[in-house]
Amino acid sequence: MNWTPFYAAMVGAAAAVMGLLFVAVQLSAEKLPADVRDGWQSVAFCTFYLFLTAFFLPLWFLIPTFDARERPEITLIVASIGVLRSVRASIPIWHGVLRIGGNRWWEMLWYSLGPLILYMLILYEAGKTYYGHWSESTDQNIAIFLLILFSLGLKNAWNLFAEAAFQSNNKTPRGND
């Protein structure tokens, strides 16, 4: 099966949404109250990194000179960078949860652990094929993980701007009402 159309569509969709996310962050960042701005900036970074992974991994797969033997290395590198960036961006989120308190633990788990689990699944899949063979099922699993990663990014982006609009109108952080 030829995965080129899927990877091309994923690159295009991720690029479009990254552009929209960038513009939306620029337009709404100053409207947030100062006490919640850092947490939402971290959520925006986490979301941006999800879209970066959904953009760069398929982009590498579209380069015609790379064959299936090089895909595990590329996937390991991109997913490892995703893990590091996700952890780095999640630290302020958890700091905000500990500082503000409230019932936001499940939400912060979604923002930080959800991407980490997906990155680990991608790393596992790539590691499994590093000494073996990149097969059709590997492409399918990576595609499924990329779709879930992209969907998670869309949900985070929606929450980011829906919550940002709510908080900018109420000027009080959620959980302290």
pLDDT digits (tens, 9 = 90+) for 104-132: 666 677 777 888 899 999 999 999 888 88
User: What's the pLDDT band for 88 if we cut at 50, 70, 90?
Assistant: confident
Question: What integer is the mean pLDDT of 85-92?
Answer: 82
* Length of the chain measured in residues: 177
Question: What integer is the mean pLDDT of 1-18?
Answer: 92
Position 52 scores a pLDDT of 92
* Cα–Cα distances in angstroms (integers) from residue 3 to residues 26, 109, 110, in the given order: 35, 32, 29
Residue 143 predicted with pLDDT over 70? yes
How many other CB atoms are there within 10 angstroms of residue 177's CB atom? 7
Asked if residue 102 lies in contact with residue 174, where contact means CB atoms within 8 angstroms, the answer is yes
Residue 158 predicted with pLDDT over 60? yes
Residue 69 predicted with pLDDT over 60? yes
Phi, psi at 130, each rounded to 5°: -60, -45
Query: Is this structure's pTM higher than 0.85?
Result: no
Residue 147 predicted with pLDDT over 90? yes
* Cα–Cα distances in angstroms (integers) from residue 28 to residues 49, 60, 87, in the given order: 19, 32, 24
Residue 156 predicted with pLDDT over 50? yes
